[in-house]
């Protein structure tokens, strides 16, 4: 930004910087920084910048895209089943926090009793709401479901939406349906209390998904 200044009785308009001779030779430039809009969180940690007040300030940002996961729901669900077909384990009302256009939702489910050999202990499901861009009011588009189990030999393996306790769908009104299913092939026990945490991905400022 430029400033009007008076130097040794003479007036100068719209001066962005002043260059002066240094003792011992060379020159030094002094630049106006009053239009600085950056804050410490905008600048990488370990780097320095000058605020609009001319204060030399260290950045605090750890980098990354600026996106983050926001917890929008947390509940505990008691599950008991011996059925090898998928059944509803319950629903979670997420409301407008999840039903907005372009929302990316992560359903994180964990057995509160921990990783026990021979027991299913948790799942992660990702849902993407790309429908609203074309005017649709239908349920979310599921981007994928991953369930994780603990075998009797304590070896962990990943599967896709086949059994256990997992986020199944999110309706257009934001209602999350959680399913349960026993898998006899692995003698898999799913009876337990599960913590269901639902997160929404908040994109970086200025970034719009699916455009």
Q: Is residue 89 part of a domain?
A: yes
- Are 51 and 91 found together in one domain? no
Verify that 121 and 163 share a domain, yes or no. yes
User: How many domains, in total, are found in the chain?
Assistant: 2
Co-location of 82 and 141 in the same domain: yes
| Residue 136 within any structural domain of the chain | yes
Non-local (6+) Cβ contacts of 135 within 8 A are none
Stretch among 79-93, 130-144, 169-183, 191-205 having the lowest mean pLDDT: 130-144
Look at 82 and 108; give whichever has higher pLDDT: 108
Q: What is the pLDDT of residue 73?
A: 94
Per DSSP, the three-state class of 98 is helix
Kindly state whether residues 53 and 72 are assigned to the same domain. Answer: no
The answer to whether residue 194 sits within a structural domain is yes
Weakest mean pLDDT among 86-100, 116-130, 184-198: 116-130
3-state helix/strand/coil string of 47-76: CEEECCCCCEEECCECCCCCCEEEEEEEEE
Q: Could you tell me if 76 and 52 lie in one domain? A: no
CA angle 208, 61, 201 (to 5 degrees): 35
Domain range for 32: 3-58
The first and second tokens of residue 74, run together, are: 């947390």
Residue 141 lies in a domain: yes
Helices (H) and strands (E) in the chain, counts: 1, 15
- In this structure, are 13 and 43 located in the same domain? yes
Q: Is residue 208 part of a domain?
A: no
Domain shared by 46 and 98, yes or no: no
Mean pLDDT lowest among 83-87, 118-122, 204-208: 204-208
User: Could you tell me where the DSSP H helices lie in the chain?
Assistant: 96-99
Unique residue bearing structure tokens 């306790």: 165
Q: Are residues 36 and 116 in the same domain?
A: no
Return the pLDDT at 187: 65
Whole-structure pTM value:
0.63
The region of weakest confidence among 5-14, 67-76, 195-204 is: 5-14
Is 138 contained in some domain? yes
What does the CA dihedral 2, 5, 11, 16 come to, rounded to 10 degrees? -30
127 vs 160: which has the higher pLDDT: 127
Residues 48 and 108 in one domain: no
Structural element, H or E, at residue 111: strand 104-111
Q: Which of 58, 85, 103 is the last residue of a domain?
A: 58
């Amino acid at each position: 930004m430029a400033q009007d200044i008076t130097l040794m009785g003479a007036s100068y308009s719209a001066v962005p910087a002043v260059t002066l001779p240094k003792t011992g030779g060379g020159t030094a430039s002094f630049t106006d920084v009053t239009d600085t809009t950056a804050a410490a969180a905008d600048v990488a940690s370990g780097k320095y910048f000058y605020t609009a007040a001319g204060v030399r300030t260290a950045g605090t940002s750890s980098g990354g895209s600026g996106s983050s996961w926001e917890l929008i729901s947390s509940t505990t669900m008691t599950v008991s089943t011996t059925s090898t077909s998928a059944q509803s384990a319950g629903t979670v009302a997420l409301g407008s926090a999840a039903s907005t256009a372009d929302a990316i939702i992560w359903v994180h489910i964990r057995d509160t009793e921990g990783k026990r050999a021979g027991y299913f202990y948790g799942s992660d499901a990702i849902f993407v709401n790309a429908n609203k861009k074309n005017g649709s009011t239908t349920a979310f588009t599921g981007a994928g479901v991953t369930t994780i189990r603990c075998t009797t030999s304590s070896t962990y393996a990943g599967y896709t939406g086949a059994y256990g306790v997992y986020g199944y769908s999110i309706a257009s009104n934001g209602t999350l349906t959680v399913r349960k299913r026993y898998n006899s092939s692995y003698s898999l026990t799913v009876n337990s209390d599960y913590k269901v945490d639902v997160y929404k991905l908040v994109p970086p400022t200025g970034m719009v998904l699916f455009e």
